[in-house]
Structure 1
């Protein structure tokens, strides 16, 4: 049963008991009024009866006093009182008006009649006294018969008073009993009313004040320690408790909202810190391999439970090729045409199974009955497409707007990192390669020579070096122009690039001089390689415009460490051999002298 129903019933019962209590109090008051009326009536009747008895005895006393004393004053008083007496009915009428019953009045009337009979004897005695017969007068007034008549009158008055007393006492007793009864009933009803009121007050206080306050106190204590899972009780009535509960509910909702915002802020800060660390690591990458490892390590943390791939664009074949993957994606292949992806076509994020209907990419395995939620993010930098970042969304998962922003930031950072690596490689190539011949330049020779020397010393292998100079190169520039000289250098560089087994071991040393490193080759093998190079270059037939540039010859100096010199003197030894070849007439190969011969 609801609290409102209980309190309504209690209020109704309280009102009913109050009415009953008031009624009983009124009835008790009426009974007390009857009691008071009966007492007053008894007093009035006693007073009237006493006056009647006084009248009976007063006349006898006046007559006797006159007979005893002969004083005419008593006779005058007697006659005056007799004259004042009324008829029997008139004398007892006021007693009837005072409340005497008919039976009581009949008894009183009999007493008055007996008293009036005594008047006749009193008159006879008074007449005898006046006539001088005092003895007769005394005999009449003091005789036994007169006394009996007087006692009978007194007895009748006494009977009247006894009956009156009995009746009045019965009325007073009944009125008192009724008054006491209604009073007790009133007291009982009043006690019940008070008890009910107290019970209702206690019940209401307990249910509507104590219980809510205790619960609200517990909720407040929990909210004070940031336990916003505590839910305040529902208080529907409008009062201070309801206002307090509403205020606590609003405070809790604000706390929950603040917790949600703090959780979002913390998650956003964590995600941005993760993206920042990933960006810092990518900025420190020195190769595409390092970038792949960073992407494979960080992306599953940024996009958990989302398999995916990083594709790089191969512009020569117009394909996007997988660079790395994570969590085993299955809906897209390892390579496909750039035109197969709408994200690469449009240069924008593409999600065919997201909130908005869109066309799927051709590189995604698509089932119209069970569409796959995929996300393609183009990797661009400086309006140039570099690759693609691909994700497969989990079933039933949803990427919110904030997460899509993280994906965009991720794609932007990866795109910039790839662009930086490509730019770095391009700049390195430009810095380490000769733009005219395509060979490595002298700047790259230092690290490459150190690497080859260290490897040769560690393995105990020989390391050969060819110093090459184009003979009479100034003639090409002077006769045919610098463009012709550039053509000669390009042709020589092309020959040198093709005769080495490993790339990056042929260098343009400066001007018309070139250097070739020959790891693991002996002095004989190095000399054979030098003669082959000289023969190939001599076989070149170059022209510039309509003019024939004529034959191109070279001079070559050979040194092999550790046969001819120490590893660290390899280049200088080969350069000395080149100088000797040029001194001896050019278009020839000269071997450096052996170390023992040189020392001899």
Structure 2
């Protein structure tokens, strides 16, 4: 049963008991009034009975005193009292009005009859006394017959009085009993009403005040401890407890909202920290491989629950090629044409599903008719397309709620890192390559040679070096100009780059000199390679501004470590062999000797 129902029933019972108690109090008051009326009636009847006794015996006494003393005063008193007495019917009617019953009045009528008879005899005796018949008067008033009549009158009056006393005693006792009964019932009703009122008051205080206050106090303590998961009790009553409960609910809702905002702020701060760390790591990347590892490690943490791919632009094939992926994306192909993506076409983020409806990209698989929720973010820098960042939003994934703003910031950071990496590679190529021939320059030779020498010496393998010089190059510049000389250098560099294998490297050593490294090649193998290169260069037909230049020849010096020299003196030994080839007439290949190597050392 609901508390309100119990309280209403209790209120109703209290009201009924209060009404009953008031009724009993009224009845008790009425009974007391009846008791007072009975007492007053008895008093009135007692007075009437005393008057009747005076009527019966008082006049007899006055008449006898007059006869005994002859004093006329008694005669006067007798006449005056007789004159004051009313007739019998009037006296009986007065007693009836005072509350005497019919049977009692019948007894009274008998007494009044005897009293009237005595009055007649008293009058006859007084008349006889007046006539001088003293004996006759005394015989009448003091005779036996008069005494019998006087006794009968007194007996009737006593019977009337006894019956009246008995009846009035019974009525008074009954009135007292009823008055006490109603008073007791009234007191009991008052006691029950008070007890019920106290019970209701205790019940209401405990259920409506004490218990809600205790529960609300527990809720307040838990809310003070930042436990916003607690549910405050619902009290809809319009009172202080209800106002307190409503205030606590509002405080809890505000706390939950603050907690949610704090969680969002913490999540945003965590994402920004991840973006900052990722940007720092990308700035330290030297190669695309390092950049791919950083992206593959950080992106799933920044955008949890979002599968995706990183595509890089391949200028050679004019395609977007997957560099890495995470969380197993299922809808986009690993390689596709840039024209297949609307984000690359427009240079803007593209999301065909979600809040807005748009055209799906061709590289996204939607053969079953359902367009997957994807996001394509172009990676661009200096109006140049560098790649594409692709995401797949998975349905009903509570973790896939990262803001697209952060995804765009992520794409911008990756674009910047790619642009910086490409710029670094371009600068390194410019610093390490010869601008005229496209071959690695002397700076790159120093870095590569140090590594090759250390590896060959550690493994004990042969390492050959060809030092090549264009014969009479100054004559070409003087005869045809420096542009013709540059043409000759480009053509010779192209022959050397095309003729060498993968495990060899060609460098422009400086001026008209070139250096070819042959890892693992013996002296005999180096001799054959040198002769082949000299023959290829000799077969060149070079034209400049429509004019064919004279055939070009080269001199070649060969040195092989450890056959001809130590690994540390390999380049110097090959250079010494080149000088010997030029001294012997040019257009020839000369191998270093052990003695020449020691002289160079």
**So what's the TM-score if we normalise by structure 1?**
0.89
Contact 1:440 1:504 in 2 (8 A): no
| Paired position in structure 2 for 1:76 | 76
| Paired position in structure 1 for 2:426 | 426
1:43, distance to aligned residue in structure 2 (A): 0.5
Structure 1 position 250 matched with structure 2 position 273:
no
| Paired position in structure 2 for 1:32 | 32
| Paired position in structure 2 for 1:519 | 519
Contact 1:565 1:595 in 2 (8 A): no
Contact 1:348 1:377 in 2 (8 A): yes
| Paired position in structure 1 for 2:384 | 384
1:163, distance to aligned residue in structure 2 (A): 2.2
Q: Which runs of 5+ in 2 are unaligned?
A: none
Structure 1 position 261 matched with structure 2 position 261:
yes
Report SS of the residue matched to 2:445: helix
- Pairs within 5 Å for 1:118-517: 118-123=118-123, 126=126, 140-397=140-397, 402-502=402-502, 505-517=505-517
| Paired position in structure 1 for 2:572 | 572
Structure 1 position 543 matched with structure 2 position 526:
no
- Pairs within 5 Å for 1:29-68: 29-68=29-68
1:266, distance to aligned residue in structure 2 (A): 2.7
1:334, distance to aligned residue in structure 2 (A): 2.6
| Alpha-carbon distance between aligned partners in 1 of 2:517 and 2:3, rounded to the nearest angstrom | 102
Report SS of the residue matched to 2:316: coil
1:120–1:308 CA distance, 2 compared to 1 (3 A): closer
| Alpha-carbon distance between aligned partners in 2 of 1:200 and 1:598, rounded to the nearest angstrom | 121
1:123–1:424 CA distance, 2 compared to 1 (3 A): same
Q: Deviations over 1:103-124 (max 9, x none)?
A: 4334334323433433444455
Contact 1:310 1:387 in 2 (8 A): yes
Q: Deviations over 1:386-414 (max 9, x none)?
A: 22233343344488674433332333333
| Alpha-carbon distance between aligned partners in 1 of 2:510 and 2:74, rounded to the nearest angstrom | 187
1:456, distance to aligned residue in structure 2 (A): 1.1
Deviates more, 1:157-166 or 1:346-355: 346-355
Report SS of the residue matched to 1:349: coil
- Pairs within 5 Å for 1:90-109: 90-109=90-109
| Paired position in structure 2 for 1:23 | 23
Structure 1 position 115 matched with structure 2 position 143:
no
| Alpha-carbon distance between aligned partners in 2 of 1:2 and 1:144, rounded to the nearest angstrom | 92
Contact 1:495 1:537 in 2 (8 A): yes
1:431, distance to aligned residue in structure 2 (A): 1.0
Q: Deviations over 1:300-327 (max 9, x none)?
A: 3344454433222212222122222334
| Alpha-carbon distance between aligned partners in 2 of 1:271 and 1:224, rounded to the nearest angstrom | 29
Q: Which runs of 5+ in 1 are unaligned?
A: none
Structure 1 position 87 matched with structure 2 position 87:
yes
Report SS of the residue matched to 1:169: helix
Contact 2:305 2:399 in 1 (8 A): no
Contact 1:563 1:595 in 2 (8 A): no
What count of residue pairs does the alignment treat as equivalent? 600
Q: Deviations over 1:259-318 (max 9, x none)?
A: 222332333333333333333332222222222233333333344454433222212222
| Alpha-carbon distance between aligned partners in 1 of 2:598 and 2:33, rounded to the nearest angstrom | 160
Contact 2:305 2:397 in 1 (8 A): no
Deviates more, 1:529-538 or 1:313-322: 529-538
1:504–1:254 CA distance, 2 compared to 1 (3 A): farther
1:595, distance to aligned residue in structure 2 (A): 4.1
1:271–1:157 CA distance, 2 compared to 1 (3 A): same
| Alpha-carbon distance between aligned partners in 2 of 1:4 and 1:33, rounded to the nearest angstrom | 43
Report SS of the residue matched to 1:437: coil
User: Over aligned residue pairs, what C-alpha RMSD do you find?
Assistant: 3.2
Report SS of the residue matched to 1:550: coil
Contact 1:497 1:503 in 2 (8 A): no
Report SS of the residue matched to 1:556: strand
| Paired position in structure 1 for 2:529 | 529
Deviates more, 1:206-215 or 1:442-451: 206-215
Deviates more, 1:186-195 or 1:35-44: 186-195
Contact 1:466 1:517 in 2 (8 A): yes
1:47, distance to aligned residue in structure 2 (A): 1.3
Contact 1:329 1:392 in 2 (8 A): yes
1:440, distance to aligned residue in structure 2 (A): 0.7
1:597–1:312 CA distance, 2 compared to 1 (3 A): closer
Contact 1:439 1:504 in 2 (8 A): no
Contact 2:62 2:78 in 1 (8 A): yes
1:424, distance to aligned residue in structure 2 (A): 1.7
1:396–1:367 CA distance, 2 compared to 1 (3 A): farther
**So what's the TM-score if we normalise by structure 2?**
0.89
